[in-house]
Amino acid sequence: MAITLVNGIVCDYISAQDRGLHYGDGVFETLAYVEGHFQFLQQHLARMQDGAERLGIPYPDESLFLGDIHKLLQKADAPRGVFKLILTRGQGQRGYRPAKKSIATRICQYSDWPEHIDNWKSTGIDTRICDTRASVNTSLAGIKHLNRLENVLASSELGANYQEGFLLDNSDNVIEGTMSNIFTVIDKTLVTPELTHCGIAGVIRGQVLKIAEENRINTEVRCVSKDEIVEAREIFICNSLLGVCAVNTIDGVKVQSNIITNIIDAALNKRMSLNA
């Protein structure tokens, strides 16, 4: 089941002039609603505001988004679900150049919880290195914007045997998964790719880094080469729906250890219930 609000009104359509369609001119967030609570709601809204500001899209009063998700929650009436928030620069005339004053379009969609990811979380997942590369652009790096063709193409490479794939930049550094951020453990240090020139800086990625610091786990945010990843003995991915999820294999090679993954997972679950 899916229910959509456009600018606060139940509606399955948006204007064919919307710049979200024409240029991917907008930002989005994916929120997990679990056991009666939105996970890291404030962090998601803060990231959306930051992305909108970097793109020069007017960010609406936060109460409007809060009103939307509570309205949807009542309609959905389910113990858990996925809430996607989209903010576009709104309707535009022909041409790339934004109007001096834009009226942003606010979209809020509820979807049923994707049950298959519960299995992924309990068993771990098989992964590969994708042929599709991550787009390099310092102006856009880190933002969860609507230009996501690289994620679409990379995910279409996965087929039935892989649950996630990783994108490299054009220097063969690993950037992220098609729908997740990646962490690995190298010489007892938790390592995740820096996202200064491509990729999305995930909300859960930020939480994992905080948890590692609190637990005095050595951490590095740096360039991570493809070779380091395929030789890694511990890898996990994270996103807003999965939380943390162990990687079992990468390109068919077994990943042996889950020690740090389990520590982070337990701490994240605790943080989520406190956050709730």
The contact set with a second copy (CB under 8 A) reads: 2, 4, 6, 11-25, 28, 55-56, 82, 84, 86, 88-89, 93-98, 107, 109, 111, 114, 131-140, 145-156, 158, 170, 178-179, 197
Cα gap 182→164, rounded to integer Å:
10
Structure tokens at 122: 């309990």
Strand 219-222 relative to strand 189-193: parallel, antiparallel, unpaired? parallel
DSSP 235: E
Looking at 23-63, which runs of residues are DSSP E strands?
26-34, 37-38
Tell me whether residue 179 or residue 255 sits nearer to a second copy (CB atom).
179
Tell me whether residue 190 or residue 198 sits nearer to a second copy (CB atom).
198
Minimum CB distance to a second copy, residue 48 (Å): 15
204 HSE (CA, 13 A, CB side):
27
- The DSSP line for 56-69 is TPPPPPHHHHHHHH
Coil/strand/helix, residue 29: strand
Minimum CB distance to a second copy, residue 147 (Å): 4
Minimum CB distance to a second copy, residue 68 (Å): 13
Question: Contact 189/180 with Cβ under 8 angstroms?
Answer: no
Tell me whether residue 63 or residue 93 sits nearer to a second copy (CB atom).
93
Find tokens 């050595």 and name the residue.
218
Minimum CB distance to a second copy, residue 266 (Å): 27
Minimum CB distance to a second copy, residue 64 (Å): 17
Tell me whether residue 86 or residue 267 sits nearer to a second copy (CB atom).
86
- Within 10 angstroms of residue 177's Cβ, the number of other Cβ atoms is 27
